[in-house]
Structure 1
């Protein structure tokens, strides 16, 4: 069973599709359900995570700087198959403990994004805080999304992109303000974690649009011929957004001028918000009708 501190966070997370307030407001959280190493019973823990630019996310077994590993970490050592709730989606994953240089690189990136991790490591003494990668296990059929209808699911996915983009804009703005505080006007380079966050967002958006065109749009075109003009417009918007995403990736991947990256993010935000709003107006009535 979750402890008294975790349970309200879990309840709020599930009630608000991954959004929580209080001390965790604006944080990237997931719910990790593990199998007890001794009891064999499920245990759910809210954890901060780091996007890792591909087919995995990273969680850190800090235990607040304790000299002992947290229970959830001992559980994944005994039972690596876990369940992840990301807010919009729930999926099965394989937990892999990172070792050696890979662990060092990942932990350094975590510290760059949030210096508090370094403080936890100092408090933990001789205990090297583990970094665990969670790899989604592919399953047949549609994804397990927390929605009561297809239209509701589409809106939830869109809101997740809005939220991720808002976090990226917030991180970028904070970096610019930090540069101004130091007298440089802007940070010299984009932070490593911000680069990964941008690339993760861009890849997720590409996958979503590709999946829509291959599946959802084709089905709607067959069942609702009157939607053909709207679907054609949405496909054109996908192409424009893809071009903006590529421009952003070029700036971010080459660690270009932060002000240029911020401008690209603002352009993408405006275009994407207009696209998502139009798609919801046109498609949700058809999907839920």
Structure 2
């Protein structure tokens, strides 16, 4: 599984691709939509931005999977949104403030089945780790978006 530094480098390159293409490229990866998620750092209080795939999206919500490539530790972005559920999400069509909700039990199993059917790599990530990989639903808030 990739190291944290490798993943951070990949994120920086991905953000650069979006920037140099004026937003025309980089919003799709492995056939999934890509989002730019900004959380508030749980220790620093600073904005922290990461590029993530979103295997399920609808008009009113999107789903993120805190897989970290099957690592035994949760990704920082997930730990951050557990502390402060209001996040900023940027997609190819704009940005919104959203509320993050970690799904549990039956709802998680239903989503996990759909995600792993459509994107089997997630199942292989789960096989690599003893932790249950969290699934997060993002729902728009009524808060104005800041660009």
- Calculate the TM-score normalised by the size of structure 2: 0.85
CA deviation after TM superposition for structure 1 residue 69, in Å? 0.3
Say which structure is richer in helix: 1
CA deviations over 1:12-32 (Å, ceiling 9, x no partner): 1244426329x9364310000
Alignment of 1:19-30 (within 5 A): 19-20=25-26, 24=29, 26-30=31-35
Change (3 A) 1:64 1:49: same
2:62 aligns with 57
CA deviations over 1:91-138 (Å, ceiling 9, x no partner): 1000000011001111111001110000000001x2000000011113
> Gapped runs of 5+ residues in structure 1?
147-289
Q: Does residue 70 of structure 1 match 2:72?
A: no
2:140 aligns with 136
CA deviations over 1:229-259 (Å, ceiling 9, x no partner): xxxxxxxxxxxxxxxxxxxxxxxxxxxxxxx
CA deviation after TM superposition for structure 1 residue 50, in Å? 2.5
Partners in 1 of 2:24 and 2:113 — Cα distance? 26
Say which structure is richer in strand: 2
SS at the partner of 1:127?
A: coil
Q: Does residue 40 of structure 1 match 2:45?
A: yes
2:91 aligns with 86
Change (3 A) 1:73 1:139: closer
Change (3 A) 1:92 1:8: same
Q: Could you tell me whether the CA contact under 8 Å between 1:84 and 1:90 is conserved in 2?
A: yes
The match for 1:121 among 120, 126, 135 is 126
Q: Does residue 109 of structure 1 match 2:114?
A: yes
Q: Does residue 10 of structure 1 match 2:2?
A: no
Partners in 2 of 1:85 and 1:130 — Cα distance? 21
Partners in 1 of 2:123 and 2:24 — Cα distance? 26
Partners in 2 of 1:18 and 1:98 — Cα distance? 32
Partners in 1 of 2:62 and 2:31 — Cα distance? 18
Larger-Rg structure: 1
Partners in 1 of 2:66 and 2:121 — Cα distance? 13
- Calculate the TM-score normalised by the size of structure 1: 0.45
